[in-house]
Amino acid sequence: MTTDNLIPHSERKKLSFLDRFLTVWIFLAMGVGVAIGYFFPTADDFINSFSTGTTNIPLAIGLILMMYPPLTKVQFSKIPKVMAKPKLLGISFFITWIVGPFLMFSLAVLFLKDYPEYMTGLIVIGLAPCIAMVIVWNELAEGNRELVAGLVGINSLLQVFFFSLYAYFYLEIMLPLFGIKALSIDITVIEIAKTVGIYLGIPFALAVVSRFILIKTKGENWFENKYLPFISPITLIALLFTIIVMFSLKGAMIVSIPMDVLKIALPLVIFFAIMFLLMFFVAKFSGASYADNAALSFTASGNNFELAIAVSIGVFGINSGQAFAGVIGPLVEVPALILMVNLAFWLKKKLY
């Protein structure tokens, strides 16, 4: 069954061809990467020849480009409108930033305690809400556009300033509290902050500057209808490039661990379902309209996999299990969140 069959007829055109088959593109990129690594054993030496220290230059450029389009789409001017709904903002903040990371942490420990690299990779995924595809899911589900734009703006700012502290807290403080002391990550908040500064700070600054300059010189209509559609495919291209490079570095090994994809996917699916339903019913109980509820629920459900991949590569290395777990994320998220769109419409009929 294609994802096209899962989307209500009136909404199908809103999901672009590239986005609709994102899972297919990711699978193809994984296959190409594995084939390169398997049939060309010297590929890893060639890729690593472009490295300086622990940073692979082409990959770093790709990761920065991957973050630029979604950040450029953020309408920070909509943030004040969200402030007019303090109750919904408080609910969103608590479930998205407090409940969400702890839930992902718990699922990672429960399902992947015997696979420490995958476990920490999953924890990193859970630390930041989605700031890109959430806009697509919200649009498909007929959610409040202004509210989701404001939430994305706030979440983007929170990620820039607090992601490194959050990552340090969960990886260096929370894991030992749960009895996982054999896992010696030994990272500092400065290392995480440096990585976040490069892979989130640089594209964030570029996004803010380019948005300001281009809207001022070319007008908002040109920016929204010409420039943003032009740069949108860059995220997918950069993501696929990252996947090909990563999988080519360990092609032979990946052939022997196909079940690892399922091990990582299971807690992710559970996370998406719990977060969506929890936010939906709490918001409904709090008196939110359906449009507001859809915006809140999809904001809580998705994760910023671009940032998780970048941080995992920057902190743990391109060959790490943490980076591998990050790549599996969007592979699972796309079909899961499309199903959530249909669930949202079903709940709308039942509850609204």
- Specify the higher pLDDT residue, 333 or 348: 348
CB neighbour burial string for 162-186, b if at least 16 within 10 angstroms, e if fewer: ebbebbbebbeebbeeeeeeeeeee
Looking at residue 146, its pLDDT comes to 78
d(CA 316, CA 188): 12
Each residue's pLDDT tens digit, 33-90: 888 888 887 887 787 788 776 567 887 888 788 878 888 887 777 778 777 788 888 9
What is the per-residue pLDDT for 6? 40
Which pLDDT band holds residue 2 (cuts at 50, 70, 90)? very low
Over range 275-299, report the average pLDDT. 94
Q: What is the pLDDT of residue 184?
A: 53
Least confident among 194-198, 249-253, 323-327: 249-253
Residue of 229 and 315 predicted with greater confidence: 229
Phi, psi of 147, rounded to the nearest 5 degrees: -65, -45
Token readout for 242 is 């990252």
313: pLDDT strictly greater than 70: yes
The candidate with the shortest Cα–Cα distance to 133, out of 279, 38, 260, 16, is 16
- Which amino acid is it at 10? S
Q: How far apart are CA 7 and CA 12, in angstroms?
A: 6
Confirm if 108 and 322 have CB atoms less than 8 A apart.
no
pLDDT tens track for 247-266? 787 666 666 677 888 899 99
Distance, CA of 199 to CA of 307 (rounded, Å): 7
Check: CB of residue 92 under 8 Å from CB of residue 151: yes
Strands 55-56, 51-52: pairing is: antiparallel
CA distance 126 to 163: 11
Rounded to an integer, what distance in angstroms lies between the CA atom of residue 348 and that of residue 140?
13
Residue 95 pLDDT exceeds 90:
yes
Give alpha helix (H) positions in 94-188: 100-112, 116-125, 133-140, 145-168, 175-177
Which of the two residues, 151 and 346, has the higher pLDDT score?
Answer: 346
Give the list of residues 6+ apart from residue 65 with CB closer than 8 angstroms, or none.
203, 234, 235, 237, 238
CATH number of 68-351: 1.20.1530.20
Contact criterion met (CB below 8 Å) for 6 and 339: yes
Structure tokens at 217: 């010189």
Distance CA 260, CA 247 (A): 14
Q: What is the pLDDT of residues 76-89, one digit of tens each?
A: 777 787 777 888 88
CA distance readout (Å), 38 to 41, 44, 79, 112: 6, 10, 48, 27
Residues 328, 331, 333, 335, CA torsion sign: negative
Q: How many angstroms from the chain centroid is the CA of residue 244? A: 18
The DSSP symbol for 96 reads: I
- pLDDT score for 252: 63
- Token pair, residue 313, equals 């590569």
Task: Give residue 132's pLDDT.
Answer: 67
Place of tokens 């969103």: 92
* Cα→Cα distances 104→126, 161, 264, 269, 323, Å: 5, 21, 12, 11, 16
Q: Within a 10 A sphere around the Cβ of 41, how many other Cβ atoms?
A: 11
